[in-house]
Amino acid sequence: MTSDKTITADAAGTWTLGDLTVNRMGFGAMRLPQQGTAFAAGSASGDRERAIAVLRNAVELGVNHIDTAAFYFSALRSANELINSALAPYADDLVITTKVGPGRDPSGGFLPPATPGQLRGQVEENLRQLGRDHLDVVNYRNQGADSIAEHFGALADLREAGLIRHLGISNVQARHLTEALAIAPVVCVQNKYALGLPGQDDALLDLCGDKGVAFVPFFAIAGAGRESGAGAAESEEVLAVARAHRATAAQIRIAWTLRRGPHVLAIPGTGNPDHLVENVAAGAIRLTDDEWAALNALHRAAPEV
């Protein structure tokens, strides 16, 4: 996708998380602390400077929804600290979404899922790292529990106490959304979702739309590659659409994701400045009906995972 004009995040349209209006094209901070695929070879200080520059460039491009978590960290840096260093004092329209539930020890190993009583400590950890007196949106990330009522209820109490403005849930099924809505308002559901990864989340995405809840996919570009990023050979269907729009396959995947519904928010993450510009520009791609049908057929034909 080529253009002499810089495309900004508002090209994707907007959605409201409770009373917070965000551009549907956002940014995921998970990759920022990582080495290897997230950054070109270079010094640790150079990587840090590059990450800070990417965050600032994202905001300059109109991104006002950033997804992060205290457990996004490497041996050298954390996503929350990078966000604080790059963007504080924060713009009034910047919405920072974080998540709690998982925890990691200093070596990076994952701890047992947090108990309801431990969630306050995780919320306060995010507050300290981000340098804020409240969190805009906190997702409770489920780690396989059949019920999330007790954990979500604990976060609802912290919302009443003023530490959290809005609540969301992550890594959940439809029954968890029903369970959470009976306790407190839910503004977003964040689940793994991508073109070519069909399954129960297709129905959950539609259910969120019916209920006015944002659906926020992660791994929308990486798909089955998950944390390691997109690495598998791309399908000819996606490549054909990419050629028609003079775009990359990643941009077409983002465009397809956004077209799934006006309540769908994209949060692609990158430590590469050029990829950031490309990701934001994908919000301006408008698929034709024939392209949409071809990509949907590809999605439905993929084996469930």
72 part of the active site: yes
Q: Residue 135: enclosing H or E segment and its boundaries?
A: strand 135-141
Q: HEC profile for the chain? A: CCCCCCCCHHHHCEEEECCEEEECECEECCCCCCCHHHCCCCCHHHHHHHHHHHHHHHHHCCCCEEECCCCCECCCCEHHHHHHHHHCCCCCCCEEEEEECCCECCCCCECCCCCHHHHHHHHHHHHHHHCCCCEEEEEEECCCCCCCHHHHHHHHHHHHCCCEEEEEEECCCHHHHHHHHCCCCCCEEEEECCCCCCCHHHHHHHHHHHHCCEEEEECCCCHHHHHHCCCCCCCHHHHHHHHHHCCCHHHHHHHHHHHCCCCECECCCCCCHHHHHHHHHHHHCCCCHHHHHHHHHHHHHCCCC
The residue from 72, 90, 140, 193 that is catalytic is 72
Contact 64, 93 (CB under 8 A): yes
Contact 217, 280 (CB under 8 A): no
Q: Which residues are known to be catalytic?
A: 72
